[in-house]
Structure 1
Amino acid sequence: MASRYQHVADDLRRLITTGALSVGERLPAEQELASRYKVSTPTLRNALEVLQSEGLVEKRHGSGNFIRRPGQRITYANDRHEARQSPVAGAAVSVSLETALVEADAQLSLLLAVRAGSPLAEYAFISHQGTSPRSLARVYVPHAVARLGVPEVNDSPWGDSVRQLLSGAGVRVTATTERVTARFPTAWEAHTLHISTRAPVLAVERTSTDASDRVVEAALLVLPGDRTEALFTKRSVTQELEAAG
């Protein structure tokens, strides 16, 4: 037997899929919706979290819950220069960048093979479609590797422009390792991406090394699970030899 929050989610989903609620429309306040469905506010929030995890509703902190355009997906490819976003009708995708000087915490110390407290340049890329965040990428470069300037912001949300700065500084990346996991977002990640803390995300931990196996760059990527697909391509030995030639 379906629970009360599932009944509420089913009815709101019906209103969204039939067009009774339009894309971009703001839902009534949670207390008003709870009163309308004769449920408690926590029950109503559980129903909204179901719809958020399905990508039908987006919670904008401080503004409320909005109907989100369905089918917006972003493709993460294992080839950095082929990573791309699937074409989506509607507002254009934009990428913003914030930079900071940080110290390596325990996680970054292990990831970058540096001492805890070592100075790092942090580059935070956030992609949006309209007002809707689509991905978060934080790229780190140890000062011991290179002291880089501010990269140009291009169409790539994965921090490819940091790789270009490294190349310009004479740092050559020879290998990249990516570890992909599914998990729930932290409170900060959920707030940044306008998703529920119970909406699964695709987390990518990326490290790049030079010819001496020194880690020269690391990145932490967080992609909402309801709007992301991962694409992994492996070239044959013949293709690799042709590319090398």
Structure 2
Amino acid sequence: MANRYEQIADDLRRLITAGTWPMGERMPAEAELAARYRVSTPTLRMSLELLQSEGLIEKRHGIGNFVRRPGQRIAYASDRCLADGQAALNLGTDTVSDVSLDITMVEAEGRLASLLDVRVGSPLTEFVFVSRQCASPRSLTRIYVPHAVASLGVPEADGSPWGDSVRELLSADGVEVVTTTERVTARFPTAEEAHTLNISTRTPVLAVERTSTDASDRVVEGAFLVMPGDRIEVLFTTRSAASATEEMETAG
């Protein structure tokens, strides 16, 4: 027999499907829904979290719960070449309307020091990108560049949620990315990530840990990308060595 919160979620799902609350419309307040179903607010929130994990609704902190519009997804695409095992990122977006950027000087703690192959306490520049679609957060990207590699300024706004502009700054400073390695995992978000992305801590996210090295295998950039699982698509394209060579000859 289903738990009470699952039964409530089933009924809310039915009402949403029937159009009781149109797409994009705010649902009744949690206290009102809890009173309607005669349950505690924590139980009602478990029902809402279940619908959030399914992508039916989204919670906007301080405002309320809204019925999600369909098709609100962004794409993370990676174009790989088999010629030498290196990865060339081709990062695309789908109707991302806004990307904010914060820059902070930080020191490398244990995890960052290991990722960037630097000493604990080494100075880093942190670039934090948050992409939004219709004012709703869609992705969180943190990029770190050791000061020993380059002291970068403020990148130009290019609309990319993945920090492409940071790589452009590195290139302009004479630092060329030769190899990029990405580790992709599915997990639950931290409390900070959930708050930034306006999701429940029970909503799965896709997490990408990225490291980029130059020709001498020095790590020149490290990044953590976090995206709600119901709002992201990942596309990996692998080209053969022959097709990559032909493309380079055509470009030349």
TM-score tier by shorter-chain length is over 0.9
The 2-side partners of 1:223 and 1:229 are apart by: 10
- Residue of structure 1 equivalent to 2:206: 202
Number of equivalences: 241
SS at match of 2:244: helix
| Structure 2 SS opposite 1:71 | coil
CA distance, structure 2, for counterparts of residue 22 and residue 216 of structure 1? 47
2:93 is aligned to 85
Alignment TM-score, normalising by the size of structure 2: 0.92
- In the alignment, structure 1 residue 59 sits paired with structure 2 residue 55: no
Q: Which residue of 2 aligns with 1:157?
A: 161
Alignment match of 2:182 (pick from 171, 178, 182)? 178
Measured in 2, the distance between the counterparts of 1:43 and 1:86 equals 35
Correspondence for 2:3: 3
Partner secondary structure for residue 164 of structure 1? helix
Task: Determine the C-alpha separation between the residues in 1 that align with 2:198 and 2:68.
Answer: 11
Deviations 1:9-65 (A, max 9, x none): 111112222221022322222121111011222211110000111111111222222
Matches of 1:69 and 1:106 in 2, distance apart? 40
Cα separation, 2, equivalents of 1:104 and 1:239: 40
2:30 maps to 1:26? no
Question: Which residue does the alignment assign to 1:41?
Answer: 41
2:245 maps to 1:237: no
Distance in 2 separating the partners of 1:240 and 1:117? 41
Q: Does 1:70 align with 2:78?
A: no
TM-score by length of 1: 0.94
Consecutive unaligned residues in structure 2, runs of 5 or more: 80-87
Residue of structure 1 in register with 2:140 after alignment: 136
SS class of match (2:230): helix
How many Å separate the matches in 2 of 1:100 and 1:18? 47
Whole-angstrom CA distance in 1 between matches of 2:59 and 2:218:
41
In the alignment, the residues of structure 1 paired with residue 241 and residue 201 of structure 2 have an alpha-carbon distance, to the nearest angstrom, of: 43
For 2:40 and 2:140, the matched residues in 1 are separated by: 33
Question: What is the identity percentage for the equivalent residue pairs of Structure 1 and Structure 2?
Answer: 67
**One-letter amino acid of the structure 1 residue matched with residue 182 of structure 2:** E
Question: Post-superposition shift, 1:242?
Answer: 2.1
Q: Are positions 1:187 and 2:191 aligned together?
A: yes
Give deviations 1:106-142, integer Å, cap 9, x for gaps: 1111100011111111111111011100011111100
- Secondary structure of 2:157's counterpart equals coil
User: Where do 5+ consecutive residues of structure 1 fail to align?
Assistant: none
Cα distance in 1 for partners of 2:178, 2:209 equals: 17
State which of 220, 225, 244 in structure 1 corresponds to 2:229: 225
**Counterpart residue number, 1:50:** 50
